[in-house]
Amino acid sequence: MLELAGVDAFYGDSHVLQDVSFAVRAGACFGLLGRNGVGKTTTLRTVLGYLRARNGTIRFDGEAIEGRPTYEIVRRGISYVPEDRGIFRSLTVEEHLRVADRAAGRHERLSVEEVYGLFPRLAERRRNLGGQLSGGEQQMLAIARALVGSSRFVIMDEPTEGLAPVVIEQISQAIRRLRANGTTMLLVETNFHVARAVCDECCLLDRGRVVFQGAMAELAPDSEIVKSFIGV
């Protein structure tokens, strides 16, 4: 569904992505893994057209999207849950979801009631303001809002970062349910255990290069590659 081939990207003179290639199959939950600063967010920003690929091709549904503007890329049915979550302090949970519902295109997507089913905690908090939510609730809302926009292909940047284990488990369960419902996901994770619990395929980045791509199950937690490039 999404395919990168030989992608290079730069911040000024700094060559951040070097010959990055990987492919996300329709229906997969694909993990983009690696330590801090290796280029995971940069890869997502390049796919979404916030940053221009200097070389290489990026295909979505078989069509080249590199160099296209972001609004046109997301119109194809890609939704994005950014690292900073992007929750508004003075809008309620319900308002976040209604705004996303009105702005959505014609893609496969979840209704507001369906995302409340996925995250019952958000249903309880529907009248609370964004600024009153815990970190975990804000993350759930960020994912819920993305799904109301499109549930075809969802890109998430470290959805479990900084959250308590019980909340990480809730988010992992939601990701598994989405996958069971046919949503394709590209998930950036630095937590190896979360990646193992939710991803079926992955690639491992180190200093802007892909050092492993394959089935998640091939990456044994005690393997040298995991110890060197992720840490557990």
Ligand X SMILES: Nc1ncnc2c1ncn2[C@@H]1O[C@H](COP(=O)(O)OP(=O)(O)OP(=O)(O)O)[C@@H](O)[C@H]1O
User: Rule CB under 5 A: which residues touch Mg ion?
Assistant: 40-41
- Near ligand X in 8-47, by CB under 6 A: 11, 14, 16, 34, 36-42
Task: State the CB neighbour count (10 A cutoff) for residue 125.
Answer: 21
- Residue 194 Cβ, how far from ligand X at the closest point, in Å? 14
DSSP summary character for residue 75: T
- Draw the binding track, 100-139, toward ligand X (x: CB under 6 A; -: no contact): ----------------------------------------
Give the contact letters, 190-219, x = binds to ligand X (CB under 6 A), - = no: x-----------------------------
Nearer to ligand X, 94 or 206 (CB): 206
Residue 185's contacts (CB-CB under 8 Å, 6 or more residues apart) are 28, 29, 30, 153, 154, 155, 156, 175, 178, 179
Identify the CA nearest to 140 among candidates 196, 178, 191: 178
Write the binding mask 151 to 190 for ligand X: x where contact by CB under 6 A, - elsewhere.
---------------------------------------x
Q: Please report how the helices 93-103 and 135-149 are oriented relative to each other, as an axis angle in degrees rounded to 10.
A: 20
| 8 Å CB contact between 3 and 58 | yes
What is the binding site for ligand X (CB under 6 A)? 11, 14, 16, 34, 36-42, 190
